[in-house]
Structure 1
Amino acid sequence: MTVKFGTSGLRGLVSELRGPSVYTYTVAFARMLQDRGALKEGSKVYVGRDLRASSPDIAQLVHAAIAASGLVPVDCGVLPTPALALHASSENAPAIMVTGSHIPDDRNGLKFYRADGEIDKRDERDIIEIHAAMGNAVSSLSAVDAVRLGAEPSQGYIDRFLGFFEKGSLSGLRVGVYQHSSVARDIIVDVLRGLGAETVALGRAEHFIPVDTEALRQEDVALLKHWAAAEPLDAIVSTDGDGDRPLVADADGSFVRGDLVGAITAHFLSADCVVTPVSSNSSLERCGYFARVVRTRVGSPYVIEGIATALAEGGKCVVGFEANGGVLLGSPVEKGGRTLPALQTRDSVLPILCMLSAIAKTGRPLAEIAADFRFLAGASGRLEGVPTENSASFLGKLASDAAYAGEIFAALGGVADIDNRDGVRITAHNGEVVHFRASGNAPELRCYVEAKAESRADELLDWGLSLGRAQILES
């Protein structure tokens, strides 16, 4: 079975999700909340979905499982994950998003939300235990009539931003919107136009495109460059499939890495503390913009834990973000007499608006604003089709065998530091960084690198992927 929890939700092959698996995991989620007294008979559970071909069928299974649990499924239709989370929390109700986020169309998944936000790792363990005890016991896989909502959740999400950013604040900007198959593709246009920007719709697709903001496909890189060369644009923006990770490119069509998007966003919001995984750029601690940087394992549940710790320790304005650019607003933000409430789930529209607002406010191009943060050049890639056990063997040896690691990294001057917080992140004596970790969502080995120049980062990434491939094949 491929169905399992990763860094952000339940994922698996569509062929396995279209059946008892999704149904029983949904029942396990409902039972966990019922056992804790968080749900009573007849309570509502809000359900949304992305634009994958498989998502409507899987949503029907979710509706059936909710109804079989004595609860009321509320169909919110197609909308961004943060819009669903925002609406459900305003109703003090749990939610389930049917989405595989950025992974290929032959896969899909579920993201679970308690009334107070994303489930955490303890919740995951409880759901897995309840599911294991249930087996594949299914009451009924037939469709049920869910309560249907209209545009209310999406409109509430739009109003969140139009009520915080000043009217006309993006006037004069011309922004390309790479729409592909993102559930946020129309919402982004509506918000940008509502703030005065001129928008140009680009690349709208009727089939699902797996845009991964942490490892862009070469065709996406080429498209960004092509669109930027074709007409004057201040930036090109987009999101992943479910609208919780931003994609931002500058006026030349050069992709701005997600951790830099997060840093620019946090600085624009005047954050005194940022919380981010170990995979984010190591220059965050050196850029001088933040009083405190808290590092976590990879995954939004860990970032949320870090945010809670930072707030408990006196953080005033705490912003979390991941290397994929998804921003979690840990505390309310006030600007110009307006307040933006906290939303501790990954969001794409907030960082997009902060990046564009920085351009409008300073009158400087995005490339110059980004350069101020003095980030090391970064690159990331992945080896697909790598079984989890093969990745574990390679990473375990790299972390525990100093002689082995030293021999491998001799070409970089040897190992200066090893961080085993999540995967194996090695800082070489020459200052370069190579970080290997197994994906929590798919059979992949991911590689992240940092170097002083982009050309060297590309070389280092090729070296890291070749190294990983060779070592895994040997194992």
Structure 2
Amino acid sequence: MHCEEAIASYRERAHDMLEPGSLSGMRLGVYQHSSVAAELLVQVLRSLGASVVAVGKTGTFVPVDTEAVDAATIAKLKKWVREFGLDAIVSTDADADRPLIADENGDLLRGDLVGLATALFLKADTIVTPVTSNSGISKALGFAVQRTKVGSPFVIEAMEALHGAGGVIVGFEANGGVLLGSDCVVNGKTLTALPTRDSFLPILAVLSTMASTKKKLSRLRGLWNLPVCASDRLQNFPAESSRRLMDHLASRNALQHFLASFGTVAEIDETDGLRARMLSGEIIHLRPSGNAPELRCYSEASTESRAMAIVASTLQGAHAFALTDEIEDL
């Protein structure tokens, strides 16, 4: 298939998801940067009735990490929503397989919540998602939930294993990447399975939910009543340093000492990295990146400030451990 044909096919797929004019009355920003979907996303949203303001287009590569958005990017998003009076601002990473969505205040909607909104939009029967996704996404929301290691190959493998069971299968990751594991009916039309990360489906699902419920995006979070999550990373953190830290924390006593400021460790999950649930219910998850010299940390708590503080403190502890370890090697 030629490039033009592929784009036309993808555009038609996006149009089939929503009724014409379904986004009428919405004022949306599209943060274009160096995304390969910069123009197509604007075109699709306008064709569905939205008033669109394109912002931030660049001629050089911009490394947007949808799971660890830097402070400078967040500041831009907040500036744009105020400047242009936006209901939401949407974007993708550079190769356009992961979405980035911010509400009317410029606050980001985490990728796992984007995935949840998509699953609800598609009336999913089963969700497949890594252990790093919000622990509140459970059977209580009406889905069967299967957890995997981090990475789309693991999500795809689990979706394929479930394919014979029937029903609508939706996979997603904490970075916002959504994968459709089965055919489903949307807007009276069949949306065929697409078991690869797709940014337009979750963007349109979230915007459609806003339009149909007539709720601001900031209000939708409250409907799900989930724990608050935060995540960040230590960049340029050698794989050997990650290995030594994880080996050290394999001891329950060492882990308890490392996390002592957060209380008592109640449960440990080693599906991918080290995920500790504290007696308080808070979660701290450390995981070496599989494709970069980085150590990632995820947390869950009752408030955003607490979740962010847990991540910051844990990464500080990891950095201090690595420095001490290096000194001992001298």
- TM-score normalised by L of structure 1: 0.67
SS at match of 1:263: helix
Equivalent runs, 1:228-247 vs 2, <5 Å: 228-247=81-100
Question: Contact 1:164 / 1:339 at 8 angstroms: preserved in 2?
Answer: no
1:171 aligns with 2:24: yes
The number of residues matched between the two structures is: 325
Equivalent runs, 1:274-293 vs 2, <5 Å: 274-285=127-138, 288-293=140-145
SS at match of 2:67: coil
Corresponding residue to 2:47 among 174, 182, 194: 194
* Cα offset, 1:150, TM superposition: 4.5
What amino acid sits opposite 2:19 in the alignment?
E
**CA 1:416–1:360 in structure 2 vs 1: closer, same or farther (change >3 Å)?**
same
Equivalent runs, 1:367-406 vs 2, <5 Å: 367-398=218-249, 400-406=250-256
**CA 1:272–1:207 in structure 2 vs 1: closer, same or farther (change >3 Å)?**
same
What amino acid sits opposite 1:258 in the alignment?
G
Q: Distance in 2 between matches of 1:221 and 1:375?
A: 22
**Structure 1 match to 2:175:** 324
Corresponding residue to 1:362 among 201, 207, 213: 213
SS at match of 2:292: coil
SS at match of 1:215: coil
Question: Contact 1:273 / 1:315 at 8 angstroms: preserved in 2?
Answer: no
Q: Distance in 2 between matches of 1:344 and 1:150?
A: 20
Question: Contact 1:379 / 1:458 at 8 angstroms: preserved in 2?
Answer: yes
Identity of aligned residues (%): 48
Corresponding residue to 2:153 among 288, 301, 304: 301
What amino acid sits opposite 1:394 in the alignment?
L
* Cα offset, 1:214, TM superposition: 0.1
**Structure 2 match to 1:219:** 72
Please give the per-residue CA displacement for 1:86-107, whole angstroms capped at 9, x wherever unaligned.
Answer: x6xxxxxxxxxxxxxxxxxxxx
- TM-score normalised by L of structure 2: 0.96
Question: Contact 1:274 / 1:294 at 8 angstroms: preserved in 2?
Answer: yes
1:180 aligns with 2:33: yes
* Cα offset, 1:250, TM superposition: 0.6
**Structure 2 match to 1:210:** 63
Q: Which moved more, 1:168-177 or 1:150-159?
A: 150-159
Question: Contact 1:274 / 1:290 at 8 angstroms: preserved in 2?
Answer: no
Please give the per-residue CA displacement for 1:345-372, whole angstroms capped at 9, x wherever unaligned.
Answer: 0111100000000011111111111221
Q: Distance in 1 between matches of 2:187 and 2:74?
A: 37
SS at match of 1:394: helix
**Structure 2 match to 1:346:** 197
SS at match of 2:137: helix
Question: Contact 2:16 / 2:187 at 8 angstroms: preserved in 1?
Answer: no
* Cα offset, 1:315, TM superposition: 4.3
SS at match of 2:145: strand
Provide the aligned C-alpha RMSD in A. Answer: 1.2
Larger radius of gyration: 1
Question: Contact 1:407 / 1:414 at 8 angstroms: preserved in 2?
Answer: no
* Cα offset, 1:375, TM superposition: 2.0
